[in-house]
Homo-oligomer: A and B are copies of this chain.
């Protein structure tokens, strides 16, 4: 722990969570930088991905899909709606909820963003083998709590 940050073998074993935090912060910075030209944050990009995969998802389900709260999801959607990238419609059978859809502009923005993000992430991972990448993802998925021991 003599460098700029304490990303060091010893400290990793004392607070692994913080290493993950720093990885996330740096990746977020890199992705936000890459996406800024498209007017998107990484959180917005991720939400567009979910919406592309699940058209008509409700705000509550979107929140769950991105491990967030309904309030946060709704606020983020408001920003995307302001950009004309998503639209919210009354749910056809559930009077409590709304369905969210990508607009054409939203789909186009997403298609523009994908290669940008993929390229940046590929750069970050340069030098790691396919197997090492697979292992890293497996490890991360475990850390998300979605894959039991």
Which residues of A line the B interface, CB within 8 A? 1, 3-7, 9, 11-28, 30-31, 42-43, 45-46, 49-50, 53-54, 64-67, 114, 117-118, 121, 123-128, 132-133, 135-137, 139-147, 149
Contacts of A28 in B (CB 8 A): 17, 21
Nearest Cβ on chain B to A71's Cβ, whole angstroms: 16
Nearest Cβ on chain B to A15's Cβ, whole angstroms: 5
CA distance A146 to B22 in the complex (A): 10
CA distance A128 to B148 in the complex (A): 12
Contacts of A140 in B (CB 8 A): 19-20, 23, 136
Interface centre among A19, A21, A28, A67 (most CB of B within 10 A): A21
